[in-house]
Amino acid sequence: MNYRHGYHAGNFADVVKHVALVAILQHLKKKDTAFAVIDSHAGRGTYDLTGEEAAKTGEARNGVARLMDLQGELPPALQAYLDLVRESGPTRYPGSPLLAARLLRPQDRLTAIEKHPEEFAALKDVLALYGNAVAEQDDGYARSLKLLPPPARRGLVVMDPPFEIADEFERLAAAVVAGSRKFATGIFLIWYPVKSQSAADAFIGEVLGGGVQKALTVDAQISAPEGKLDRAGLLVINPPYGFDETMYAAAEILTPILRADIAVKWRAGAE
């Protein structure tokens, strides 16, 4: 299965991931001091839900499309996420770098990294409208590590690789461990598909065994045809205060709408 962003834009996993992203950025904005966002595998920034990749899977229909008529009093992160998606129009879906760019204040900075030439070209055009956001074409793991710790000493690292290579979990775990050692106070938001529980457990265990003390996972699962993405997880290192309650509240609303099982769980690091 190809996990490149375009095939899965706006699906159930994107909804959960992006609500989490917005919740973290809202927390960082509570202080006036600047923060940095580093997105290691940024993709193209925005996606056409009627385009070839998205249309091939049709996953947005069972994801973000089910939320477009959602009204009423909602958790702030979920409301802000929906507002940002609606701003993009009915056939466009904003990826992580565009969501982040729209939420930044003048003092904050975003570095969005993308290796694939075509994806990078599109990303660069998307972020050209934002003076405090920059797109870089590079290896996401290597470049993000070079940027740590950011000058602001506050911020978020997003790692959302496409899982196109066999040893992606191993590379991701090594990058997360190295990154958290360089930026011990930073928040890390890591996405991964769950095709094998043992592989996911091994990845989480490797990260926690590497010295991470405070982490939380968000697991989302739906019923899908064989061969389709039906389960994905988030590993959040140094989740901000109240993040778990935010995700519990969002999950309570999203679970029946997305017809998903969403589990939020604290993880104990190595002593």
Q: 107 and 151 in contact (C-beta within 8 Å)? A: no
What is the secondary structure of 198-229 as a DSSP string?
Answer: HHHHHHHHHHHHTT--EEEEEEEEE---TTS-
Residue 160 is among the residues annotated as catalytic for this protein: yes
Q: Which residues pair with 157 in a beta bridge?
A: 38, 188
Q: Who's near 237: CB < 8 A, 6+ residues apart? A: 176, 180, 186, 187, 188, 190, 207, 212, 214, 215
The Cα 71–Cα 79 span in angstroms is: 9
The dihedral of CA 179, 185, 188, 194: what is its sign?
A: positive
Tell me whether strands 260-268 and 214-222 are parallel, antiparallel or unpaired: antiparallel
Q: Which of 14, 39, 108, 160 is catalytic?
A: 160
12-28 helix and 96-103 helix, angle to the nearest 10 degrees: 30
Tell me which residues are annotated as active site: 160
